[in-house]
Amino acid sequence: MKFIVAVILSLGIAALVYYFNSTPSTTTNLPASTVAANDGPKAYLTASYKMNVDGRDFSLKMVYDFPNSQVCEAQLNSTDTMNMISTFKQRCSSDSVCKEADISSCSSFTDQKYKDMLDKNYHDTHYIYLSDSKLTDQRGVIVFWGLNEQESEKMCDYVKKSNRTINPINIECL
């Protein structure tokens, strides 16, 4: 039971991080003339938690897809209090099951498996696909590595049912 509660709390944090990082307020500070959707290649930002519950290790990995590195960097470096990426590591230090939190720099590279997931393609594990109809050029995936199929399905169903608290995010269990 403790394991499921820890996973649910972690998933909630992940969904909130996605929501607050996808809100337009953090990217509207950029002049439109400096950042256009076709300014350079896509950029990816990865955040992960490594956790241990009851002696069992698992990790939560989130991958965000931005239209270019300027938008990604704006999200990563934002001082906006609504930007939860800035407090991601701090949240881990206050969570008793979190062993390590890591946020990558913006990169034009991510593993092919995450690109496939961002394109909503089948993968050998269940994952959560996040999108916002207001920001069609940004999307994300959340994957729990170390959970079995049944646990992954439960987590995704839980997040989907809890979506009322983090609207307008569209959540799909794939």
- Maximum distance among all alpha carbons in the chain? 52
Buried (b) or exposed (e) across 109-138, using 16+ Cβ within 10 A? ebeebbbebbeeeeeeebbbbbbbeebeeb
Kindly report the pTM of this predicted structure.
Answer: 0.75
Give Cα separations from 130 to 3, 55, 90, 96, 169 (angstroms): 24, 30, 23, 27, 6
Q: Is 103 helix (H, G, I), strand (E, B) or coil?
A: strand
Q: What's the mean pLDDT when you consider all of the chain?
A: 76
Checking if the pLDDT of 26 tops 70, the result is no
How large is the average pLDDT for residues 9-18? Answer: 52
Separation of alpha carbons 90 and 151, rounded Å: 27
Q: What is the pLDDT of residue 30?
A: 45
How large is the average pLDDT for residues 2-29? Answer: 50
How large is the average pLDDT for residues 144-151? Answer: 88
Count other Cβ atoms within 10 Å, centred on residue 64.
27
Give the type of residue at 72: C
Q: What is the pLDDT of residue 170?
A: 86
Quick one: pLDDT band at residue 34, thresholds 50, 70, 90?
Answer: very low
Residues in contact with 42: Cβ distance below 8 Å, sequence separation at least 6, in sequence order: 65, 66, 67, 68, 108
Q: What is the pLDDT of residue 33?
A: 35
Checking if the pLDDT of 16 tops 50, the result is no
Quick one: pLDDT band at residue 165, thresholds 50, 70, 90?
Answer: low
Give Cα separations from 78 to 24, 138, 140, 163, 168 (angstroms): 12, 16, 18, 25, 21
Q: What is the pLDDT of residue 6?
A: 52
Q: Which has more pLDDT, 114 or 28? A: 114
How large is the average pLDDT for residues 32-44? Answer: 65
CA atoms within 13 A on the CB side of 24: 10
Q: What is the pLDDT of residues 68-126, one digit of tens each?
A: 999 899 888 877 655 556 566 667 777 777 888 888 889 999 999 999 999 999 888 88
Phi then psi for residue 48, to 5 deg, are: -145, 150
Q: Is 173 helix (H, G, I), strand (E, B) or coil?
A: strand
